[in-house]
């Protein structure tokens, strides 16, 4: 089995590579850290299986899928931290996925399911599943309406529409909502999956912004920019995430 690994996080790629090391019928034909390179690698190497991260800056996993022809596409094993809509779509259309963090047993089970599907040689069925998945994903993803935050033994429900921006704080995130700040144990990727992408965008490895709060965009240093919110707060826009802002 020719396998391509696509994930923007090096530790995640190393994890899959290590799990495949003892699999005798698996050959890794390439690794990619972004969607654009993944599309090119799929065309060049024609892998049978692609372990594909969903949440990547720029072109995400779904963009990679959309770029592939359903009649000649590899079998995608989606890798996700948490995306309720995507997981529902995978279950409905029998496409497998790995929910991070996953253990060796779950990984090998997923690999066996992929191996079995390849052995059937039913390219028509695989293409049909992919088409059905894409149709399901066309439905706009709706994020949560409120974020629950524990504070001094009580739980505060923060309406997402009141959030100005979210900032990474180690193993936590800080939610800035007007004059209030709330500390939540969550990753930035986890927050991205909980918010409507039509309203919130990742602009930096440490920042997610409510697009309705954006007032101005200023050039800064090199290809980086500064985003000015209506409150006057200034947030850096890194070159890596600039596409997220441009697309919106």
Residue count of the chain: 248
Reply yes or no on whether the pLDDT at 106 is more than 80: yes
Report which of 15, 13, 17, 14 is spatially closest to residue 38, judged by C-alpha positions: 13
Count of C-beta atoms within a 10 Å radius of residue 186: 20
Query: What are the tens digits of pLDDT across the range 126-171?
Result: 666 666 666 665 555 567 888 999 888 888 899 999 999 999 988 8
Most confident of the ranges 70-79, 88-97, 107-116, 237-246 = 107-116
pLDDT of residue 94: 46
- Count CA atoms within 13 Å of residue 75 on its CB side: 26
- What is the CATH architecture assignment of 2-137? 3-Layer(aba) Sandwich (3.40)
**Cis ω before 86 (30° cut-off from 0):** no
Residue 138: the pLDDT is 57
What integer is the mean pLDDT of 34-61? 90
Stretch 204-227: mean pLDDT: 88
Within the chain, residue ranges assigned H as helices are 10-20, 35-45, 61-67, 84-93, 104-120, 123-137, 188-194, 242-247
For residue 10, is pLDDT > 80?
yes
> Are the CB atoms for 61 and 78 separated by under 8 Å?
yes
User: In whole numbers, what is the pLDDT of the chain averaged over residues?
Assistant: 84
Q: Which CATH number does 146-247 carry? A: 2.40.50.1020
pLDDT value at position 65? 83
**pLDDT higher for 35 or 119?**
35
Fold equal for 2-137 and 146-247 = no
**Domain regions of the chain by residue span:** 2-137, 146-247
């Amino acid at each position: 089995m020719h396998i391509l690994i696509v994930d923007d996080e090096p530790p995640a790629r190393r994890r899959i590579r290590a799990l495949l090391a003892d699999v005798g019928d698996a050959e890794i034909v390439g690794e990619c850290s972004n969607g654009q390179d993944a599309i090119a690698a799929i065309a060049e190497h024609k892998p049978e299986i692609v372990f594909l991260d969903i949440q990547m800056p720029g072109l995400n996993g779904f963009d990679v899928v959309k770029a592939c022809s359903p009649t000649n596409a590899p079998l995608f094993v989606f890798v996700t931290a948490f995306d309720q809509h995507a997981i529902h779509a995978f279950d409905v259309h029998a496409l497998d996925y790995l929910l991070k963090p996953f253990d060796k047993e779950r990984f090998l089970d997923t690999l066996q399911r992929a191996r079995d599907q390849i052995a059937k040689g039913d390219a028509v069925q695989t293409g049909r599943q992919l088409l059905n998945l894409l149709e399901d994903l066309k439905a706009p993803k709706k994020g949560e309406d409120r974020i629950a935050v524990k504070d001094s033994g009580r739980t505060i429900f923060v309406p997402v529409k009141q959030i100005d921006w979210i900032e990474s704080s180690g193993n936590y995130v800080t939610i800035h909502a007007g004059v209030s700040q709330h500390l939540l144990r969550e990753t930035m990727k986890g927050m991205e999956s909980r918010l409507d992408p039509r309203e919130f965008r990742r602009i930096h490895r440490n920042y997610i912004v409510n697009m309705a709060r954006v007032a101005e965009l200023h050039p800064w240093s090199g290809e980086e920019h500064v985003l000015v919110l209506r409150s006057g707060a200034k947030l850096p826009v890194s070159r890596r995430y600039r596409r997220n802002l441009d697309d919106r």
